[in-house]
């Protein structure tokens, strides 16, 4: 009886020991599992961090690329815009030049008619009443023509007494003159005209060459005599 009780006690102790072992094993398994979970979580966190870094790096590179593309496109737009603006200005300038050329060509063709009116006005001297009426009609037509030219921006040059300028005048004749200095315009042979400040037709003029050779030689001799007289006066004073 006592032995049976002893056996039972041993069995209970054995069961308790087994339970404790089982409990310890379960606890060990749980700890291992927890540790594995922690390690796995840590690895996942490290992987996520690495992926996030890679994603950020890729996005930064992509952003930098987009910024470069944007800068390139912006420069292209600015260049194209500037080229177009220059083209537009050049076209406008070319159109203006072409318009001026056409107008100048047309007006230049009319100027000989104005010259003929000028010559006729100088030559005609109406005496009879009929001739005077005709002359008045002619003067009216001439004034209308001059007014039309004025409205188009045409203005005559005033050249007599002016210094010769090859940009405005064309010297057809040159002659000695005791009255005018050299390169001074003494006569207008054909009137010149401006168109809006630019030369429409150069004036044909006669230009002074200054004093003639004979007059110039007399001036030289006169100067020589005056120098000799002055020299003589100085010598007598020294004596």
Is residue 87 domain-resident? yes
- For residues 161 and 95, state if they share a domain: no
Total domain count, the chain: 2
Return left, alpha or beta for 197; rule: phi > 0 is left, psi -120 to 50 is alpha, else beta.
Answer: left
Spatial separation of the C-alpha atoms in residues 172 and 239, rounded to whole Å = 58
Give the range of the structural domain holding residue 75, as residue numbers without chain letter: 1-107
**Does 178 map to a domain?**
yes
Q: In whole angstroms, give the CA distance from residue 183 to residue 209.
A: 6
Average pLDDT estimate for 10-39:
59
**CA gap 138, 156 in Å, rounded:** 20
How many angstroms from the chain centroid is the CA of residue 74? 22
* Within a domain: 150: no
- Whether residue 116 lies inside any domain: the answer is no
pLDDT tens digits, one per residue of 90-99:
999 898 888 8
Look at residues 167, 207, 164 and name the one whose alpha carbon lies nearest to residue 186. Answer: 207
Establish if 54 belongs to a structural domain. yes
DSSP state for residue 162 in the 8-state scheme: S
Average pLDDT score over the chain: 76
Bridge partners (DSSP) of residue 203 are 169
Residue 75 sits in the same domain as residue 168: no
- What residues contact residue 218 under an 8 Å CB cut-off, 6+ apart? none
**Phi, psi (deg, nearest 5) at residue 125:** -135, 85
Predicted pLDDT of residue 38: 60
- Please give the pLDDT value at position 164: 93
Last residue of a domain, one of 107, 136, 168: 107
Which CA distances in Å does 215 have to 31, 162, 176, 198, 220?
Answer: 136, 23, 10, 39, 9
* 212 has a pLDDT exceeding 60: no
CATH code (residue 219): 2.30.22.10
202 pLDDT above the threshold of 70: yes
If pLDDT is split at 50, 70 and 90, which confidence band does 39 have? low
Residue 138 lies in a domain: no
pLDDT in tens, 98-142: 888 888 888 888 899 888 888 887 777 777 777 778 778 888 888
């Amino acid at each position: 009886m006592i032995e049976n009780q002893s056996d039972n006690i041993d069995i209970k102790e054995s069961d308790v020991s087994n339970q404790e072992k089982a409990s310890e094993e379960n606890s060990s398994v749980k700890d291992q599992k927890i540790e594995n979970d922690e390690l796995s979580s840590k690895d996942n966190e490290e992987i996520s961090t690495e992926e996030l870094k890679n994603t950020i790096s890729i996005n930064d590179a992509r952003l930098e690329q987009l910024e470069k593309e944007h800068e390139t496109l912006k420069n292209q737009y600015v260049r194209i815009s500037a080229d177009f603006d220059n083209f537009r200005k050049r076209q406008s300038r070319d159109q203006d030049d072409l318009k001026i050329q056409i107008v100048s060509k047309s007006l230049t063709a009319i100027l000989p008619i104005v010259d003929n009116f000028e010559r006729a006005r100088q030559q005609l001297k109406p005496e009879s009443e009929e001739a005077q009426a005709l002359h008045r009609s002619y003067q009216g037509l001439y004034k209308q023509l001059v007014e039309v030219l004025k409205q188009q921006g045409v203005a005559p040059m005033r050249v007599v007494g002016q210094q010769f300028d090859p940009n405005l005048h064309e010297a057809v004749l040159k002659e000695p003159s005791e009255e005018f200095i050299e390169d001074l315009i003494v006569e207008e042979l054909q009137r010149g005209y401006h168109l809006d400040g630019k030369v429409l037709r150069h004036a044909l003029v006669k230009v002074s060459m200054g004093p003639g050779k004979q007059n110039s030689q007399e001036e030289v001799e006169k100067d020589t005599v005056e120098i000799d007289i002055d020299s003589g006066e100085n010598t007598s004073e020294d004596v």
